[in-house]
Amino acid sequence: MTGDGERADAASRRAQQVAEEAERSAERADHTQEIVGRSRDALARVHDEMATAHERVAALAETLADRDGADAARRADLMTSATMHHEQATADRREADVDRRDAAEDRRALNSRRHDS
């Protein structure tokens, strides 16, 4: 085989290797994006659960504040606590919404990339 033919064969083999590496890299990127999306979904569920817990604590504080026998200072402390827990629940719900939107965007990007391939 001539020198030019050998170089062409070597270039062809190298091009094939690069194409295979690119395909493996794309598959790893897809897999990673799937994992990130699932993680964001899980994080959204955690934020929802935290919000629910804060709402329950707020409801309990309000119930205790409404009980007979609670003095004014105790009632004020309980209502302050209830307000803080309601605010934290709202913040947790917002975080959950952001996580769900991010996860949905990851799925759209992944589906788009797969559709384009």
pTM of the model: 0.76
Could you tell me the two tokens for 30?
A: 């897809």
Alpha-carbon distance 111 to 104, whole Å? 10
Percent of the chain with pLDDT over 70: 97
Percent of the chain with pLDDT over 90: 73
3-state secondary structure the chain: CCHHHHHHHHHHHHHHHHHHHHHHHHHHHHHHHHHHHHHHHHHHHHHHHHHHHHHHHHHHHHHHHHCCCCCHHHHHHHHHHHHHHHHHHHHHHHHHHHHHHHHHHHHHHHHHHHHHC
Residues 13-58 pLDDT 10s: 999 999 999 999 989 988 998 999 999 999 999 999 999 999 999 9
